Structure 1
């Protein structure tokens, strides 16, 4: 039922240290591929053959990556924010229910429930169905509060318990989202839960893989044996990675980038960056 996926990829890479200023985070390596290669494979696994990706930071590098890919790159000369990128997408496609994901995170759960979530969203005339993750009580994310399956508020977390926050993964009905020009926030102009019905749920048995910061990225790729089984199965199914054995190593090389995990040094174009 969902044939289009939007991959949010226009951040500045600031959470990846100095190297994030040079290589856009979506193009950071994973084996002999880039994170975006995995995201495109993930979107196709979900049944989405129309894939849109926004870009801003290091757009030229993104163009080089996209030139032989079956994707549509939407350049933002001025960054449009988490809401503006969706409105910019509406200028290209505005009559569909779409799936949205972030370029540096993967969320695995029973995807068969997506169809039920779409049907429930449409029958309730909701504008979105968003997927939550449960995070530790000491995490610094905003807390999303859900009542009867509907998102009711977003606020800083202030209780001594684990809580739910938005994962960045969800379903949007573009037909119900009024077009807004310029930069805007996702929860003000897209999933406007104060004025529209926005569904949110925590999937059953979820597995969330976050590579969004330098520390998290290093933790994942420096010990690939620790990847959850569902992630290993997904990565091994990608054609370009056939035969991947997930062995750990202290030094890894990808397309001109060398990571030395013992020395905690990244070498790129003969320059060293500590992590």
Structure 2
């Protein structure tokens, strides 16, 4: 199985860090996000990774070329201008050799078993909606229950991890988001599937606070041991 890592974003919400390094090279517990992702993919048998990069792409390549012990083949699809998720996958398609492939957004860290996605042709890993804020239950204007930063049960969100058939590429825009184009069309036609993951670790690095919270959770769950286990 090949995997595409979408690592071309500028990471504006993580400035000033991203003024100096691209988002995929931001360290979480002393290891850059993209290395965590490659270790994660390798754990589940992925040995061929295509990195879609644009902003400061030379830094990503230089870092990974010095990490010879990752044990996977790495190829690069370089964007000269931002293409969006759909455009990035379309550009990388010339490097795809299999009938299906995985896609992971370049800011996602998780324990989701990606092999479960292979059961369906065009499939999204779904996680329960997370809120950054406390939620409450109300009886009129009286708060009857206060819940601090808990998942909202039975409301599912896109995790940014996909298993896609190669023939989806023809319907992707040269520039634009897959979520706003092919996914809408496939969902309307009943050809887009989802696999639910309710108890797995999942985080998206979108803010400075995410770095701190994700780092703590990864330590608590001993994520390094997880990705080392085959």
TM norm structure 1: 0.65
Q: What's the secondary structure of 1:11's corresponding residue? A: coil
Q: What's the secondary structure of 1:47's corresponding residue? A: coil
Cα deviation digits, residues 188-245 of structure 1 (max 9, x gap): 4433322460001212532213333211102333x4675325x25325x28xxxxxxx
Q: CA deviation at 1:94?
A: 5.8
Decide which moves more: 102-111 or 70-79.
102-111
2:165 aligned to which of 160, 173, 182: 173
Question: Residue 173 of structure 2 contacts residue 181 of structure 2 at CA under 8 Å; is this kept in 1?
Answer: no
2:94 aligned to which of 71, 91, 96: 91
Cross-structure match for 2:11:
13
| Distance in 1 (alpha carbons) for counterparts of 2:200 and 2:11 | 26
Cross-structure match for 1:234:
226
Greater relative contact order (Cα < 8 A, sep 6+): 2
Q: CA deviation at 1:66?
A: 3.2
Q: CA deviation at 1:92?
A: 2.2
Cross-structure match for 2:40:
42
Q: CA deviation at 1:108?
A: 1.5
Aligned residues: 203
Q: What's the secondary structure of 1:202's corresponding residue? A: strand
Say whether residues 1:209 and 2:207 are aligned partners.
no
Cross-structure match for 2:111:
108
| Distance in 2 (alpha carbons) for counterparts of 1:132 and 1:73 | 27
| Distance in 1 (alpha carbons) for counterparts of 2:85 and 2:47 | 23
Question: Residue 27 of structure 1 contacts residue 62 of structure 1 at CA under 8 Å; is this kept in 2?
Answer: yes
Q: What's the secondary structure of 1:175's corresponding residue? A: helix
TM norm structure 2: 0.76
| Distance in 2 (alpha carbons) for counterparts of 1:197 and 1:95 | 20
User: What 5-or-longer segments of structure 2 have no aligned partner?
Assistant: 134-151
Say whether residues 1:77 and 2:80 are aligned partners.
yes
Change (3 A) 1:137 1:29: closer
Cross-structure match for 1:24:
22
Cα deviation digits, residues 152-197 of structure 1 (max 9, x gap): xxxxxxxxx6521101011011124315452122124433322460
- Between structures 1 and 2, the one with greater helix share: 2
Cα deviation digits, residues 37-79 of structure 1 (max 9, x gap): 1111111111111100111111221231233454111110011
Cross-structure match for 1:150:
none
